[in-house]
Chain A
Amino acid sequence: MERRPLILIVEDEKEIAKFVDLELQAENYETVVTYDGVTGLSKFRELNPDLVVLDLMLPVLDGLEVARRIRKTSNTPIIILTAKDSVDDKVTGLDSGADDYLVKPFSIEELLARVRAHLRRVNPAVTGEVRVADLVMNLDGREVFRDGRRIELSAKEFELLELFARNPGKVFNRFEIEEKVWPEYTGGSNVVDVYVGYLRRKLEGEGERRLIHTVRGVGYVLREE
């Protein structure tokens, strides 16, 4: 029998830890729950789980510090839960080594979807996924990662990127793209150029190499160069 993924939950609010635990068990994951940062970190070292669900405000050792220490020795996905949702908090959370960030109150479906996505990322055998270079598109969860970094895309941005990612190396002209992604509008706008610009801005946000290239006089292509 295949080993069930092990998920470590570090959350000091017992009622929240409880239902997250119940839901993850119901999804057939193995779980370990701890209620403070120090215990969480020692459990992590002892058990080497497949994924960590980590609360940000923890007694003794706070979540950011736990994430930083885990990241020193391991690439295990970390999903942070928090009651803070300002942009600064989000950036700090992700900088500390977390892979994802959910703000309370979160919907449990969302948490489960993220857990699935991150486990799939470390376990590439799973289908429903497109990979080009360091770009990973999870088509079911409609999620995009670049080098492990989760990238938020709008619906049209995702559709456009999916069109490129499913056909790496194929050059699309603007008309083709418009017909596929914006079928409800007649042509004549620069919507394709603008959206390629949006995608580049997001995909290259951390100074990554360019993936979507302009083919002068023709259109655009996604390829690794």
Chain B
Amino acid sequence: MTLRLRLAIFTSAFIAVILSAVAVSVYLLTERSLAVAVEERARQALADLSEGAIATGLQRLPGDAYYQIILVETAPAVPRDVATIRNGVDYTQPTAVRANPTDDSLLGLLSDRALEDLIAGDDLASYVTLRNQERLRVLGRLGTIAFPNQAVALTAVIVVGLPTSNVQRTLEQLAQDLGLIVLVAFLAFAFGVWWLARQVLAPLQRVTQAASRVSGKDLSRRVPVPGTEDELRALALSINHMLDRLQESFETQRRFTADASHELRTPVTAIVGHAQYVLRRTRPSAEQADSLRVIQREAERMAKLVHDLLELARADAGFQVQRAPMNLVEVLEAVRDDLAPLAAPAAIVVDCARPLLEVEGDPARLKQVVLNLVQNALDAGAQRVSLQLQRDGGEVRLEVLDDGPGIPAEALPHLFDRFFRVDGARSTRGNGSGLGLAIVRWIVAQHGGSVDVRSRVGEGTVFTVTLPAYDAPPDVT
């Protein structure tokens, strides 16, 4: 997961929690204050009805209020039980009855438990739901109704109901609005964070891209240094500083290898030349001749090492091989013809059904590849090296099979490393410089191909070189 994504997700999640908490608080607070408002109005209505004259109270009753007055005792007294209340006479004057589409009796909807509060001398407080699903906040009180022109005062239960539906609707609307606001705010914020993260991280990304373009082949590139005085500038500067030092040491090493190889060529040439001269043009004794041949052979080995080192110094310097269409079959035949006389009694066999398999390549370097692979097999003690070449779709596949001792599995991953030797020791067996396979890999890579190895101890080894095939455009002449 990228830093940008992580940053955006974490910040957005955090803000989502905050926004939700705020929304829930707003909702709960609103709900409470709305409930309090209803309660207030109901209390006011109850007070109006139960204190003073009923007629006045009724006039002051809010338009949406329900009420019911039930006469329960003919004298001021607390009713004995709930049944007494339920058996009371509904005094609600027809003229004063509010629009009550359900014609429900509030008393009938109240529970016994709520009514018991009245008997205990408390106010009644409850909720009821009418048949038309309207929910009411109901308050009730035991009161005395005095009739102005009569001398009797009756005990009555006064019940007032105020609908909470408005509150409900308001809360639903509020929840909807809050949800929408939270969602929009969240999206805006997430987008903003995403954008901001990009703004902040863009210089970092530029640094990263530039750094990844710097490779062993091209150490001269540098990371762009932002003009701002911040952490990114420090990062870019320290990367560049590191690259300077890397390039310097890389250059020194490469130049050293190249110079050393150049300088070694002259003495090696002189040694081989003089040894050959004495061998060819004078008459050394048998012992002297042996000794001269050792000088010549070892000097030639050194020459090969120098050549290989220079070749790898070139590879490190990013040297590109020159490629032109060429016939790979002939390369194999040339290697066979060059090595067969020296390899006898070991046999080198070219196995290809066709006289022509073209690749785009540098003939001398591809010959080097095959030479190195075959020479390795012979040095390891193979008695038969088979070169199998075939076209496989858009590729040409060369397999170098030998019946040598094989390579232990643990050595295979390091086979193409410089100066790696299978037997571990810096043995002098064979003429190898220890660089042959590193060169093979470089040359093959330069040709857009790949090289692979499979081996089984005691059975032999197969090197597989795969190169892109070349198909000549149809000849027009």
Residues of A at under 8 Å CB distance from B?
13, 15-16, 18-20, 22-23, 26, 83-87, 104-108, 154-156, 178, 182, 184-185, 189-191, 193-195, 197-198, 201, 214
Q: Is the CB of A198 within 8 A of B273?
A: no
Can you list the 10 inter-chain pairs with the closest CB atoms, starting with the nearest?
A: A15-B270, A19-B273, A105-B269, A191-B356, A185-B355, A104-B269, A83-B265, A105-B303, A191-B355, A104-B265
Q: Is the CB of B281 within 8 A of A26?
A: yes
Interface of A is mostly: helix
Residues of A within 8 A of B273 (CB): 15-16, 19-20, 23, 108
Q: Is the CB of B262 within 8 A of A83?
A: yes
Residues of B within 8 A of A15 (CB): 267, 270, 273-274
Q: How far, in whole Å, are A194 and B303 apart by their CA atoms in the complex?
A: 36
- A105-B303, A108-B276, A108-B277 are contacts. A16–B269 as well, Cβ < 8 Å? yes
Q: Is the C-beta of B475 less than 8 angstroms from some C-beta in chain A? A: yes
Query: Given A15-B274, A104-B268, A105-B303, 15 other A-B contacts at CB below 8 A?
Result: A15-B267, A20-B273, A22-B281, A83-B265, A87-B322, A104-B266, A105-B265, A105-B268, A107-B276, A108-B277, A154-B363, A155-B334, A156-B330, A194-B325, A201-B324
Q: Is the C-beta of B342 less than 8 angstroms from some C-beta in chain A? A: no
Query: How far apart are B10's CB and chain A's nearest CB, in angstroms?
Result: 56
Question: Which residue on B lies nearest to A183, using beta carbons?
Answer: B355
Q: Is the C-beta of B354 less than 8 angstroms from some C-beta in chain A? A: yes
B322, B324, B330, B337 pick with most chain A CB within 10 angstroms = B330
Q: Is the CB of B265 within 8 A of A189?
A: no
Residues of A within 8 A of B274 (CB): 15, 18-19
Interface of B is mostly: helix
Question: Which residue on A lies nearest to B272, using beta carbons?
Answer: A105
Question: Which residue on A lies nearest to B275, using beta carbons?
Answer: A19
Q: Is the CB of B262 within 8 A of A189?
A: no
Residues of B within 8 A of A201 (CB): 324
Q: Is the C-beta of B477 less than 8 angstroms from some C-beta in chain A? A: yes
Residues of B within 8 A of A86 (CB): 314, 319
Residues of A within 8 A of B116 (CB): none
Which residues of chain B in 450-477 are interfacial with respect to chain A, using CB atoms and an 8 Å cutoff? 472, 475, 477
Q: Is the CB of A19 within 8 A of B333?
A: no
Count of chain A to chain B residue pairs whose CB atoms are closer than 8 Å in the complex: 90
Q: How far, in whole Å, are A110 and B280 apart by their CA atoms in the complex?
A: 14
Question: Which residue on A lies nearest to B363, using beta carbons?
Answer: A154
Q: Is the C-beta of B402 less than 8 angstroms from some C-beta in chain A? A: no
Query: How far apart are B303's CB and chain A's nearest CB, in angstroms?
Result: 4
Q: Is the C-beta of B372 less than 8 angstroms from some C-beta in chain A? A: no
Query: How far apart are A119's CB and chain B's nearest CB, in angstroms?
Result: 20
A-B CB contact pairs (8 Å), 13 listed: A15-B270, A16-B270, A26-B281, A83-B262, A86-B314, A104-B269, A105-B265, A107-B276, A156-B330, A184-B355, A189-B354, A191-B355, A194-B358
Size band of the interface chain B makes with A: 35 or more
Kindly identify which residue among B269, B310, B333, B356 contacts A189, using a CB–CB cutoff of 8 Å: B356
Q: Is the C-beta of B326 less than 8 angstroms from some C-beta in chain A? A: yes
Query: How far apart are B300's CB and chain A's nearest CB, in angstroms?
Result: 8
Q: How far, in whole Å, are A191 and B277 apart by their CA atoms in the complex?
A: 43
Query: How far apart are A178's CB and chain B's nearest CB, in angstroms?
Result: 8
Q: Is the CB of B270 within 8 A of A19?
A: yes
Residues of B within 8 A of A214 (CB): 477
Q: Is the CB of B272 within 8 A of A194?
A: no
Q: Is the CB of B266 within 8 A of A155?
A: no
Q: Is the CB of A156 within 8 A of B327?
A: yes
Q: How far, in whole Å, are A194 and B471 apart by their CA atoms in the complex?
A: 11
Q: How far, in whole Å, are A105 and B269 apart by their CA atoms in the complex?
A: 5
Query: How far apart are B153's CB and chain A's nearest CB, in angstroms?
Result: 128
Residues of B within 8 A of A22 (CB): 277, 281
Interface membership of chain B positions 284-322, coded 1 if the CB is closer than 8 angstroms to chain A and 0 otherwise:
000000000000000110010010001000100001001
Residues of A within 8 A of B363 (CB): 154
Q: How far, in whole Å, are A39 and B199 apart by their CA atoms in the complex?
A: 70
Q: Is the CB of B475 within 8 A of A155?
A: no
Q: Is the CB of A23 within 8 A of B356?
A: no
Residues of B within 8 A of A184 (CB): 355
Residues of A within 8 A of B270 (CB): 13, 15-16, 18-19
Residues of A within 8 A of B325 (CB): 194, 197-198
Interface membership of chain B positions 344-364, coded 1 if the CB is closer than 8 angstroms to chain A and 0 otherwise:
000000000011101000010
Query: How far apart are B209's CB and chain A's nearest CB, in angstroms?
Result: 33
